[in-house]
Amino acid sequence: LTMSNSRAANASVKTVQLDHYNLTAILEFRQDLCPSGGFAIVLGSSLQAMFDESTHDENHHLWSVLDLLLDSSNPNAVALLAHTVNSLQAPAGGTTFRRIRTISGNHFGMSTRYGESSDFDISVFRRRQQQHD
């Protein structure tokens, strides 16, 4: 679907299938594409299996993956994660990442197949800044 949409939009997109539990493969992927550090933006969707209702734990695997992928030297690097409403909990207080915004699918004029309010959100996360957050 990603490749079809990118062709239709005449955009150049590279996709790679990774096992998100294989941190070595994720690190190699990042080093291959971003040898200077990491990505400024990480997009994620359909990650419900990864969330497993425990993302509030600062040691949850999701935060380890984002820690590897996001550029640690860029204070504006963000992860945008699309998910069903209330399925992604932000990590507790003093952890590495914090949610800076939640955008409802309603903002995009979306609704459920039954015409009700959208049942998905986009959460925007970034690294917690030592002196400001």
pLDDT 10s digits, 82-123 = 888 877 888 877 678 889 999 988 888 888 888 888 888 899
The pLDDT of residue 118: 83
pTM of this prediction?
A: 0.81
Residue 100: closest CA among 71, 67, 66, 127: 127
* Percentage of residues of the chain with pLDDT beyond 70: 92
The number of CA neighbours under 13 Å toward the Cβ of 14 is 6
Give the pLDDT confidence of 29-76 residue by residue, as tens digits: 999 988 888 999 998 887 776 766 778 888 888 889 999 999 999 999
Instruction: Give dist(CA 106, CA 87) in Å, integer.
Output: 17
